[in-house]
Chains A and B, each alone.
Chain A
Amino acid sequence: MSEAVIDLRNVRVVAGRRTILAVDALSVAPGEFVAVIGPNGAGKSTLLKTVLGLQRAAGTVRVLGQAVGDVGPGAVARLRRRIGYVPQVLAGRSELPLTLREVVAIGRTGTAGLGRRLRADDWRRVDDWLARLGLAALATQAYGDLSGGEQRKGLIAKAMVQDPEILLLDEPTANLDLAWRERIVETLDTLFADVHATVVLVCHDLEVIPSCGERLVVLEAGRVTAEGSPAKVLVPERVAGLYGANLEVLHRGGRYTVVPRQGGAA
């Protein structure tokens, strides 16, 4: 097996007196699509920020062969340019004058080099990804004027213009309606098939995991409590622990959903 692109050993993140992440060992192989599930406060977002070096952590975090905590700010910046990150929180402020095209271009800003202008090729990539994600008509709109789903797709485009070797997605469908959720999931499925990047998707709901999600990691109270294929992880006892005793997981067309158990309590 080739070397893991993400490798965490004895990683601890402490906030105040509370340990919010305690991962003894977690690896992601090149080209894998890993979905990290768990309840609120399980440490899922912290896990992604730790991988990016945005969150200080004790232990060893190796990403793309580099130990994140042991390198200087320049090396960390260079490493981050190889990782696309779609954060959970949207930064769209109503007064912000930036257009969607300018926000997507942030993905090329680090790669282009400090103090250098974006080249025609950078803008071509920006326009390509806007078109691929169906956002071309909105390119010159103010980012703050777009709907939540459009902003979320814009952030995915921002991550993709980096040509990332790893894509980290933090609840990319949070607060979106069903139609937008499905559009985003479909986009992720297509991206994974087209780009072959390693993807780590953090989510609450199983419905968000696209059919390409071949490995699940369950995070509870900062600890990895289970990992493996969905069939191995989503056993009735664990589903009951995660979602409630009266629920069961259905598997349809490569996707998963949680529904009330037939004949269960009302």
Chain B
Amino acid sequence: MSVDLGFWAPVLVAGALAGASTGLLGVTIIGMRIPFLGVCVAHAALAGAVFGSLAGLTGQWLLVPALAAALATALALGLSNPQTLRADVNVVMGLLFSLTMGLAFLGIGLFDRFGRSANEALGLLWGSLTFCGWRDVAVMAPLTAVEVAFVLVFYKEMRAILFSREHAAAAGVRVTLVWSAFLVLASAVLTVNFKIVGGLMIYSLLANPAAAAFQLVRGYGRALALAVAIGTVSGVGGFLIALAARLPTGATIVILSSALVAVAAVVARVRGRVRRHTAWPGPSADR
């Protein structure tokens, strides 16, 4: 089988970038038990794109209102005080999700009135890795670099926030500042990935690499590194398997990343059993 590298090379790179960038986000998002964030941001971006399309924007320009809506949602989430609102962050996400979905459907309902098609705006949630080009990689690569830089610079703050926002704030960490910045960055990364590689693949790459890493390692840095590695392997490996077996790319990546979680869970159980058989009753034995 001959492979057209010129066509597939950007797809391969985009798969690796999508896996790495969402794997990196996943450690915080899954560790804080807010996987719904991905869905929330996706519908906010969709609402933005729908109204951008109604306003006459097309092509890559639709990303601008989509990003603006996603960022506004992320900021609303980051700055809302659960204590004042008397609602958990998941409840706030539920409210924002229903609001943005309502706005998106309202906008879609208006397309007929303006004699336009909603297909382009709806395409924001249904991008496909198979059709990625270097132009898409040129958007994904710098955003992934910014994300990596953010995690490196605010490594200890993000580690504290991952443990507990309240504990971190009580210890004098600038939680609102760092958390809001993270949410803004996460929305940008997710929106761009939705547009380029598709929602289904992003949801799975957000959750699965982090879930697999949590099974296998202890320590924030190790969890980050392993989640990035598993995300990258899922993106690249899934694409190569799909190419070789002529399977749908997105679905193969999703199934591979899910299989890696299962493998990690089995390895963790086996390792735990071996440890129980060989370890001395350590200091925790009196619990």
Q: Taking the complex as formed, is B220 at the interface, i.e. its CB lies under 8 A from any CB of chain A?
A: yes
Q: Give the secondary structure class of B's interface.
A: helix
A98 touches B162 (CB 8 A): yes
Q: Taking the complex as formed, is A129 at the interface, i.e. its CB lies under 8 A from any CB of chain B?
A: no
Q: Which residue of A lies closest to B170 (CB)?
A: A85
By a beta-carbon cutoff of 8 Å, the part of chain B in contact with chain A is 27, 30-31, 33, 83-84, 86, 153-157, 159-160, 162-164, 166-174, 176-178, 211, 213-214, 217-220, 222-223, 282-284, 286-287
Contacts A80-B172, A109-B171 given; indicate if A102 touches B83 (C-beta within 8 A). no
B218 touches A54 (CB 8 A): no
B207 CB to closest chain A CB (Å) equals 12
Q: How far is the CA of A195 from the CA of B178 in the complex (A)?
A: 32
Contacts A52-B170, A110-B171, A117-B156 given; indicate if A103 touches B163 (C-beta within 8 A). yes
Q: Which residue of B lies closest to A76 (CB)?
A: B172
Q: How far is the CA of A117 from the CA of B156 in the complex (A)?
A: 7
Q: How far is the CA of A259 from the CA of B45 in the complex (A)?
A: 63
A109 touches B168 (CB 8 A): yes
B35 CB to closest chain A CB (Å) equals 12
B24 CB to closest chain A CB (Å) equals 14
B271 CB to closest chain A CB (Å) equals 13
Residues of B within 8 A of A98 (CB): 159, 162-163, 218-220
Interface centre among A91, A137, A150, A179 (most CB of B within 10 A): A91
Residues of B within 8 A of A97 (CB): 27, 31, 213-214, 217-220, 222-223
B219 touches A150 (CB 8 A): no
Q: How far is the CA of A87 from the CA of B170 in the complex (A)?
A: 9
B284 touches A138 (CB 8 A): yes
B284 touches A54 (CB 8 A): no
Report the 4 A-B pairs with minimum CB-CB distance, sorted nearest first: A147-B287, A110-B172, A81-B172, A91-B164
B197 CB to closest chain A CB (Å) equals 26
Contacts A97-B214, A102-B219, A138-B283 given; indicate if A117 touches B164 (C-beta within 8 A). no
Residues of A within 8 A of B83 (CB): 54-56
A158 touches B171 (CB 8 A): yes
Contacts A56-B84, A97-B222, A115-B154 given; indicate if A106 touches B167 (C-beta within 8 A). yes
B149 CB to closest chain A CB (Å) equals 11
**What interface size band does chain A fall in?**
35 or more
Q: How far is the CA of A146 from the CA of B27 in the complex (A)?
A: 21
Residues of B within 8 A of A40 (CB): none
Q: How far is the CA of A52 from the CA of B155 in the complex (A)?
A: 24
**A91 CB contact (under 8 Å) in B163, B177, B217:** B163
B263 CB to closest chain A CB (Å) equals 17
Residues of B within 8 A of A114 (CB): 154, 157, 174, 177-178
Q: Taking the complex as formed, is A210 at the interface, i.e. its CB lies under 8 A from any CB of chain B?
A: no
A52 CB to closest chain B CB (Å) equals 6
Q: Taking the complex as formed, is A140 at the interface, i.e. its CB lies under 8 A from any CB of chain B?
A: yes
A80 touches B171 (CB 8 A): yes
Residues of A within 8 A of B164 (CB): 91
Residues of A within 8 A of B176 (CB): 73
A145 touches B84 (CB 8 A): no
Please encode chain A, from 136 to 149, with 1 for each CB lying within 8 Å of some chain B CB and 0 for all others. 01101111011111
**B160 CB contact (under 8 Å) in A106, A140, A162:** A106
Q: Which residue of A lies closest to B169 (CB)?
A: A54
Q: Which residue of B lies closest to A55 (CB)?
A: B83
